[in-house]
């Protein structure tokens, strides 16, 4: 863990190193992934079965999970978990329904009719991690926006190590309206979704997080299909003053550190005394966690505490870090929030822990990482919609604007372009 203070002579150097801290996997898996993708593209189901047997030690008769199997497993989900998933789905759906855009259409002053229509994607694949990182909340966050956007076919793949699957994942899939589920994972699942197999029809876009192999597979199939993003390790930045309970802040910092040894947790405060209290609280809370080893590795290698002269000084630091999650545990957080231009999602006030957003706040928890919040946004309904524009000229409208098009076509040396307009102007 680094302790930085903006008054330090070497602060700029240390902060730049923090900003440039590359936490993504350093092992090059591109060659292995390329081979898997090519194999699945050629051999289809047979290749997927082979990789599923090799990596997951699972030998399914059918890649697709039957409705009976899904219903039986989903019924084993504890009732309180199912109820919590239903509440989460209700809140997530309510927020995303408000994102649905309106079509645009109008006639301009020369009589040209023009506009824009929003159209849902036809078929989408959702990758859900299995094993230790099996998160039913991710099913809701990925599938519900697709359903609300109007996607007809929502296909989910989830690895089943040794044939096992978390019943809560299947319960979440039923709640969210997933239409097909396949018990496969890894790069082979991405290949099947992108290229199709005898059993799995290809999709138009793939969303959802995964390990380094999944991330690289998504990168390589982009262009054949759309993707949401390349997810990196989790991040949280907490801005807190000395009015906070330091133990609260410690839990918040560790809520992301426990995800991954490469996760990053940063505290910015205007109180040196509070900084020390928070650091001490982190050490105490770590000893209470079942995820202690992962969280400790993250905190020790990538954690940071930054002491600023005043909270306003945190704004340029935040915008350079462009973190996935930002908690503003201060009075009047809206004032600081209005100056933040680069963030995945904001959590305002002392009673809004980031974990609420992870599960059932409403906004999506699939957010930009690795400083991509500088140019990217979290998953939304818009990720499952396309815009199609249209134009309609009548004869009178074309007479008014057509000659300018001919002039520009001639200037660009494209005679057929100009000719297609000019012939209509003559007739």
- CA-to-CA distance for 390 and 395, rounded, in angstroms? 17
Q: What one-character DSSP code corresponds to residue 66?
A: P
Return the ∠ at Cα 147 (arms to 143 and 151), rounded to 5°.
110
CATH class of the 30-72+121-227 domain in this structure: alpha beta
CA-based nearest residue to 127, from 60, 199, 194, 37: 194
Residue with tokens 């898997």: 36
CA-based nearest residue to 212, from 200, 220, 202, 203: 220
β-bridge mates for residue 269, sequence order: 307
What pLDDT, on the 0 to 100 scale, is given for residue 26? 66
219-271 pLDDT, tens per residue?
Answer: 999 999 999 999 889 999 999 999 999 999 999 999 999 999 999 999 999 99
Strands 264-269 and 304-307: parallel
Tokens representing residue 330 in the block: 């201060």
Q: Compute the half-sphere exposure of residue 403: CA atoms within 13 Å on the CB side of its CA.
A: 4
Q: How far is CA 4 from CA 17, 235, 323, in A?
A: 12, 18, 18
Sign of CA dihedral 148, 149, 153, 155: negative
CA-based nearest residue to 269, from 289, 253, 254, 258: 253
Sign of CA dihedral 39, 134, 215, 208: positive
295-307 pLDDT, tens per residue?
Answer: 999 999 999 999 9
334-390 pLDDT, tens per residue?
Answer: 999 999 999 999 999 999 999 999 999 999 999 999 999 999 999 999 999 999 999
* The pLDDT of residue 131 is above 80: no
157-207 pLDDT, tens per residue?
Answer: 999 999 999 999 999 999 999 999 999 999 999 999 999 999 999 999 999
Tokens representing residue 24 in the block: 């993504």
* The pLDDT of residue 132 is above 60: no
CB 245 within 8 A of CB 353: no
β-bridge mates for residue 325, sequence order: 236, 345
As annotated, the binding site for substrate includes 234, 256, 259, 325, 358, 412, 417
What pLDDT, on the 0 to 100 scale, is given for residue 22? 74
As annotated, the binding site includes 127, 188, 211, 234, 256, 259, 325, 358, 412, 417
Give catalytic residue positions: 324-325
141-160 pLDDT, tens per residue?
Answer: 999 999 999 999 999 999 99
Q: What one-character DSSP code corresponds to residue 82?
A: H
Tokens representing residue 398 in the block: 């074309």
What are the boundaries of each domain within the chain? Answer: 2-23+232-361, 30-72+121-227, 393-426
CATH topology agreement for domains 2-23+232-361 and 30-72+121-227: yes
pTM: 0.94
pLDDT, mean of residues 35-55: 97
Q: At what angle do helices 167-176 and 67-75 cross, to 10 degrees?
A: 110
Q: What one-character DSSP code corresponds to residue 101?
A: P
What pLDDT, on the 0 to 100 scale, is given for residue 59? 92
What pLDDT, on the 0 to 100 scale, is given for residue 14? 96
* The pLDDT of residue 23 is above 80: no
As annotated, the binding site for NAD(+) includes 127, 188, 211
- CA-to-CA distance for 196 and 343, rounded, in angstroms? 36
CATH 3.40.50.1980 given to domain 2-23+232-361: yes
What pLDDT, on the 0 to 100 scale, is given for residue 372? 95
Which residues, at least 6 apart from 256, have a Cβ–Cβ distance to it below 8 Å? 234, 235, 236, 263, 264, 265, 298, 324, 325, 354
371: left (phi over 0), alpha (psi -120 to 50) or beta: left
β-bridge mates for residue 181, sequence order: 156
């Amino acid at each position: 863990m680094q302790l930085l203070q903006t008054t330090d002579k070497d602060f700029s150097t240390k902060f730049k190193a923090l900003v440039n801290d590359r936490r993504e996997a350093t092992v090059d898996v591109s060659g292995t992934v390329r081979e898997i993708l090519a194999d699945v593209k050629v051999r289809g189901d047979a290749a997927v079965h082979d990789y599923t047997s090799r990596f997951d030690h699972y030998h399914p008769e059918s890649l697709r999970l039957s409705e009976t199997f899904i219903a039986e497993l989903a019924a084993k989900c504890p009732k309180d978990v199912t109820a919590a998933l239903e509440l989460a789905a209700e809140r997530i759906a309510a927020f995303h329904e408000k994102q649905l855009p309106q079509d645009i259409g109008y006639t301009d002053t020369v009589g040209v009719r023009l506009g824009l229509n929003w159209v849902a994607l036809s078929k989408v694949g959702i990758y859900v991690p299995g094993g230790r990182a099996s998160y039913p909340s991710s099913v809701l966050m990925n599938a519900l926006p697709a359903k609300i956007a109007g996607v007809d076919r929502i296909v989910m793949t989830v690895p089943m190590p040794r044939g096992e699957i978390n019943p809560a994942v299947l319960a979440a899939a039923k709640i969210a309206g997933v239409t097909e589920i396949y018990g496969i994972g890894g790069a082979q699942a991405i290949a099947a979704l992108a290229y199709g197999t005898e059993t799995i029809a290809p999709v138009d876009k793939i969303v959802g997080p995964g390990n380094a192999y999944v991330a690289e597979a998504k990168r390589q199939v982009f262009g054949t299909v759309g993707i949401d993003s390349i997810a990196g390790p989790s991040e949280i930045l907490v801005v807190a003053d000395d009015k906070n309970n330091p133990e609260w802040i410690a839990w918040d910092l560790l809520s992301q550190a426990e995800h991954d040894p490469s996760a990053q947790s940063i505290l910015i405060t205007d109180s040196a005394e509070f900084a020390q209290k928070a650091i001490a609280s982190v050490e105490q809370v770590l000893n209470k966690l079942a995820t202690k080893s992962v969280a400790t590795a993250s905190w020790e290698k990538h954690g940071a505490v930054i002491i600023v002269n005043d909270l306003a000084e945190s704004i340029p630091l935040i915008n350079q870090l462009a973190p996935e999650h930002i908690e503003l545990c201060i009075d009047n957080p809206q004032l600081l929030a209005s100056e933040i231009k680069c963030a995945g999602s904001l959590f305002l006030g002392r009673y809004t822990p980031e974990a609420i957003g992870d599960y059932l706040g409403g906004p999506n928890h699939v957010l930009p990482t690795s400083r991509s919040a500088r140019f990217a946004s979290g998953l939304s309904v818009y990720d499952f919609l396309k815009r199609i524009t249209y134009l309609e000229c009548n004869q009178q409208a074309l007479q008014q604007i057509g000659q300018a098009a001919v002039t520009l076509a001639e200037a660009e040396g494209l005679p057929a372009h100009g000719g297609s307009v000019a012939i209509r102007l003559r007739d």
